[in-house]
Amino acid sequence: MSQFALRSQRVITPEGIRAATVKINDGVIEAVLPHNENPGCTVEDLGNQVLMPGLVDTHVHINEPGRTDWEGFNTATQAAAAGGITTLVDMPLNCIPVTINKQALHEKMEAVVDKLWVDVGFWGGVIPDSVDDLDELLSAGVLGVKSFLIDSGIEEFPNMTEEDLRKAMPILAKHNAPYLIHAELDSEDTEPPVIGDSYQTFLESRPKQWENDAIDLMIKLTRELKQEGHHCKTHIVHLSSAEALENISAARSEGLGVSAETCPHYLTLFSENIPDGKTLFKCCPPIRENSNREQLWQAIKDGVIDFIVSDHSPCTPQLKHIDSGDVEKAWGGISALQFGLPLIWTDALDRGFELEEVSRLMSAATADFAGLGHIKGRIAESYHADLLVFNDGAEYLISNDMIKHRHKITPYEGKAVVGEVMATYLRGTKVFENDQFVTGPAGQPLLKGNLK
Ligand SMILES: [Zn+2]
* Averaged pLDDT for residues 223-229: 97
Ligand 1 centroid – CA 277 distance (Å): 22
* Averaged pLDDT for residues 132-138: 98
The dihedral built from the CA positions of residue 292, 298, 304 and 305, taken in this order, carries a sign that is: positive
Ligand 1 centroid – CA 46 distance (Å): 36
- 146: pLDDT strictly greater than 70: yes
* Averaged pLDDT for residues 81-97: 97
Residue type, 181: I
Instruction: Give pLDDT tens digits for 306-346.
Output: 999 999 999 999 999 999 999 999 999 999 999 999 999 99
Instruction: Give pLDDT tens digits for 231-270.
Output: 999 999 999 999 999 999 999 999 999 999 999 999 999 9
Among residues 416, 410, 239, the alpha carbon closest in space to that of 338 is found at: 410
| pTM, entire model | 0.97
Our measurement of the distance from residue 129's CA atom to the centroid of its chain's CA atoms, rounded to an integer in Å, reads 27
With a CB cutoff of 8 Å and minimum separation 6, the contacts of 188 are none
Ligand 1 centroid – CA 271 distance (Å): 20
- 450: pLDDT strictly greater than 90: no
Ligand 1 centroid – CA 128 distance (Å): 19
Beta-bridge partners for 55: 85
Q: Report the mean per-residue pLDDT for the chain.
A: 97
Q: Do residues 426 and 443 lie in contact, with contact meaning Cβ atoms separated by under 8 Å? A: yes
Ligand 1 centroid – CA 218 distance (Å): 18
Ligand 1 centroid – CA 14 distance (Å): 29
* Averaged pLDDT for residues 63-75: 95
With a CB cutoff of 8 Å and minimum separation 6, the contacts of 198 are 276, 327
With a CB cutoff of 8 Å and minimum separation 6, the contacts of 97 are 65, 66, 103, 104, 107, 156
Ligand 1 centroid – CA 152 distance (Å): 10
With a CB cutoff of 8 Å and minimum separation 6, the contacts of 160 are 126, 127, 128, 147, 148, 149, 168
Ligand 1 centroid – CA 61 distance (Å): 6
Instruction: Give pLDDT tens digits for 50-66.
Output: 999 999 999 999 999 99
Beta strands in 284-427, from DSSP E residues, in sequence order: 307-308, 387-397, 416-426
* Rounded Cα–Cα distance for residues 340 and 321 (Å): 24
* Rounded Cα–Cα distance for residues 190 and 109 (Å): 39
The CATH architecture one would assign to domain 54-371+393-419 is: Alpha-Beta Barrel (3.20)
- Position 185 scores a pLDDT of 98
Q: Do residues 221 and 166 lie in contact, with contact meaning Cβ atoms separated by under 8 Å? A: yes
Which residues hold their Cβ within 5 A of ligand 1, which is an ion?
311
The dihedral built from the CA positions of residue 442, 362, 283 and 109, taken in this order, carries a sign that is: positive
* Averaged pLDDT for residues 377-386: 98
Alpha helix segments (H runs only) across 132-185: 134-139, 162-175
The dihedral over CA atoms of 292, 293, 294, 296, expressed in degrees to the nearest 10, equals: 90
Number of residues in the chain? 452
Per-residue pLDDT band at 2 (split at 50, 70, 90): confident
Domain ranges of the chain: 4-45, 54-371+393-419
Among residues 301, 284, 303, 190, the alpha carbon closest in space to that of 241 is found at: 284
Per-residue pLDDT band at 1 (split at 50, 70, 90): low
178: preceding bond cis by omega (within 30 degrees): no
Percent of the chain with pLDDT over 90: 97
Higher pLDDT, 305 or 192: 305
Ligand 1 centroid – CA 313 distance (Å): 6
Ligand 1 centroid – CA 245 distance (Å): 20
Our measurement of the distance from residue 184's CA atom to the centroid of its chain's CA atoms, rounded to an integer in Å, reads 18
Distances (CA, A) of 397 to 236, 278, 338, 400, 447: 32, 19, 14, 10, 37
Q: Assign residue 153 a region: left if phi > 0, alpha if psi is -120 to 50, beta otherwise?
A: left
